[in-house]
Amino acid sequence: MRLATAANAAYTATLAVTELLGCKQCSGGGGGTGEELGIRIPRPLGHGPSRFIPEKEILQVGNEDAQMHTLFADSFAALGRLDNITLVMVFHPQYLESFLKTQHYLLQMDGPLPLHYRHYIGIMAAARHQCSYLVNLHVNDFLHVGGDPKWLNGLENAPQKLQNLGELNKVLAHRPWLITKEHIEQLLKAEEHSWSLAELVHAVVLLTHYHSLASFTFGCGISPEIHCDGGHTFRPPSVSNYCICDITNGNHSMEEMHVAGSVSITDSFCEVEALMEKMKQLQECRDEEEASQEEMASRFEIEKRESMFVFSSDDEEVAPARDVSRHFEDTSYGYKDFSRHGMHVPTFRVQDYCWEDHGYSLVNRLYPDVGQLIDEKFHIAYNLTYNTMAMHKDVDTSMLRRAIWNYIHCMFGIRYDDYDYGEINQLLDRSFKVYIKTVVCTPEKATKRMYDSFWRQFKHSEKVHVNLLLIEARMQAELLYALRAITRYMT
């Protein structure tokens, strides 16, 4: 209770000081402006916490209600900052609360791994997707908890134990279906620098958490904080009414010009109506007849094959920057569809190994309480609904949410025997599939054009919800493959 109260006070005080300083500088009070004193004042480069979402549609810090204020204070207490990921996730407070609780436990509470190892593993995981935003945040956190600065010169300078984790990080991030019990054995039975089972489970959860968080960062166009690389400029403002107190929110003085595409509002409205009609028809078909198991299996294979041919027209390699790529090995290794080039990867049947019956208990046994926290986060993201679709209210969106979740697992070769994969093509159009596959598999290639091109009449809060589904489905898929391999090693 004291911690929460202290955090609340610290967070409120930080806001007040920042705003006070800013307004004095704007008004010319308080002993002169920074420029007059010869101080270079940084100004934000971006337009709020996200490059994809107009800042006027994001909750402004200082305007939050009591519940949001408590969430912001909790985030401030856990991280020592109020980052842009939090400011975008706050569209969905119930999820944000669960996310912050889980991340705080993984990084700061009692666990098998020392604190500096946890942040370094976060750096390794985020770097695999060239996510400099997360890398920079955790470089600061790593140093703050006493990490050796030499490790940051490159993975080869880190302890051999962490270097040994590089292979698992690589495969888990890009092709988790290739993980075998041999990967696990190599880490647990190394002659020197071996991992314990508990340490490895902690590391696996951290890796999957940060691979997925990189997807959210790119999928929502998260902007760097003002104090990070790419988050500020020292050039003077372009208009006279710029207020330095906007730095609190990472805001820019000018309204972001949200340029709509060539598609009219009427066309977008028709898309929503058509989607709702398809949902209605599919529900009626479900009620009338049920496909055989053979037909269901066939539809899964068709959807799995089709997912290999979903790619963006501007799909090209993104060369990793040296400041990020030094944190991992084999920079040429990336996502490849699991059945390409004659490879045959057996279908992962959820009926044989699932999170609820197998993964959850394994994690909770080796890293107590974390299984419960992750399970809660999965359920909140999957079941979250406000019963709305764009301008429509009182809508049952469960069919749509399940199609998104199961499409992601299908891309990873994971099959649910009781799901009709024919529904996916009915509910998810090509532009949406391109966005999903990019954000989940190669998030560093996500663009604002992709974000804008799907669900054009839907609210930004609904698109952020889509991203929550994407990152949790992705995290669960990675965990299933890694935990199954650990289970096979143990048996």
Most confident of 8-12, 44-48, 67-71, 304-308: 67-71
Q: Which residues are CB-contacts of 310 (< 8 A; sequence separation ≥ 6)?
A: 430, 433, 434, 437
Comparison of pLDDT for 445 and 77, the residue scoring more: 445
Residues 297 and 169 in one domain: no
Find the length of the chain. Answer: 491
**Residue 255's pLDDT band (boundaries 50, 70, 90)?**
very low
Higher pLDDT, 442 or 37: 442
Supply 122's token pair: 């976060």
Mean pLDDT of 40-66: 78
Q: Both 446 and 365 in a single domain?
A: yes
Phi, psi of 466 (to 5 degrees): -55, -45
Give the DSSP H/E element, type plus range, for residue 256: none
What integer pLDDT is reported at residue 325 of this predicted model? 62
pLDDT computed for residue 428 by the predictor: 95
**Mean pLDDT value of segment 46-58:** 88
For residues 11-30, average pLDDT:
48
For residue 299, the model assigns a pLDDT of 81
pLDDT band at 302 (very low <50, low <70, confident <90, very high): confident
Mean pLDDT for 156-162 is 95
pLDDT at 377: 98
Q: Which residue has the higher pLDDT, 16 or 334?
A: 334
Q: Which of 224, 256, 280 marks a domain boundary?
A: 224
**Domain of 176, in residue numbers:** 43-224
Is 118 domain-assigned?
yes
pLDDT over threshold 70, residue 475 = yes
Query: How far is residue 449's CA from residue 52's CA, in Å, rounded to a whole number?
Result: 9
CB contact at 8 A, 349 and 415 = yes
Residue 249's pLDDT band (boundaries 50, 70, 90)? very low
What is the three-class DSSP state of 312? Answer: coil
Question: Do 205 and 274 share a domain, yes or no?
Answer: no
Residues that are catalytic: 131
Query: Is the pLDDT score of 229 beyond 90?
Result: no
Q: Which of 159, 193, 224 is the last residue of a domain?
A: 224
How much is the pTM?
0.83
Closest C-alpha among 261, 268, 263, 254 to residue 56: 254
Mean pLDDT of the region 334-362? 83
- pLDDT the model gives residue 75: 80
Looking at per-residue confidence, does 259 or 397 come out higher?
397
> Do residue 405 and residue 274 come from a single domain?
yes
The pLDDT assigned to 25 comes to 41
Confidence at residue 415, expressed as pLDDT on a 0 to 100 scale: 94
Q: Which of 16-30, 257-271, 336-350 has the highest mean pLDDT?
A: 336-350
Given the DSSP bridges, would you call strands 392-393 and 388-389 parallel, antiparallel or unpaired? antiparallel
Q: 85 and 204 share a domain? A: yes
Rounded CA separation 210/206 (Å)? 6
Q: Residues 445, 449, 451, 454: is their CA dihedral positive or negative?
A: negative
Q: Note the pLDDT tens digit of each residue in 193-225.
A: 999 999 999 999 999 999 999 999 999 999 998
Closest CA to 24 of 241, 247, 243, 239: 243
Higher-confidence residue of 368 and 33: namely: 368
CA–CA distance, 135 with 215 (Å, rounded to integer):
13
On whether residue 133 sits in a domain, the answer given is yes
Domain closes at, from 201, 224, 247: 224
Tell me what pLDDT residue 262 has: 46
Same domain? For 48 and 169 the reply is yes
Q: How confident is the model at residue 363 (pLDDT cuts 50, 70, 90)?
A: very high
Count the domains in the chain. 2
Q: Does residue 231 lie in a domain region? A: no
SS3 content of the chain, % helix, strand, coil (to 5): 60, 5, 35
**Co-location of 169 and 305 in the same domain:** no
* 95 and 184 both lie in a single domain: yes
Share the mean pLDDT of the chain: 83
DSSP H helices, 189-242, are 197-219
C-alpha 317/C-alpha 130 separation (Å) is: 12
Average pLDDT over residues 454-459: 93
Closest CA to 106 of 173, 205, 216: 205
pLDDT at position 334: 78
Q: What is the dihedral of CA 111, 112, 116, 120, to 10 degrees?
A: -110
Task: Let me know whether 220 and 280 are in one domain.
Answer: no
Considering the domain boundaries, does residue 12 fall inside one?
no
The answer to whether position 264 is within a domain reads no
Reported as a single tens digit per residue, the pLDDT across 365-393 is 999 999 999 999 999 999 999 999 999 99
Handedness of CA 175, 180, 184, 190 (dihedral sign): negative
Q: Let me know whether 182 and 50 are in one domain.
A: yes
Report pLDDT for 340.
59
In this structure, are 217 and 307 located in the same domain? Answer: no
Query: Which pLDDT score is estimated for 35?
Result: 54
What does the block give as tokens for 43? Answer: 């100004």
* pLDDT the model gives residue 21: 41
Residue 195 sits in the same domain as residue 295: no
Encode pLDDT of 312-332 as tens digits: 655 555 555 556 766 666 676
pLDDT of amino acid 67: 82
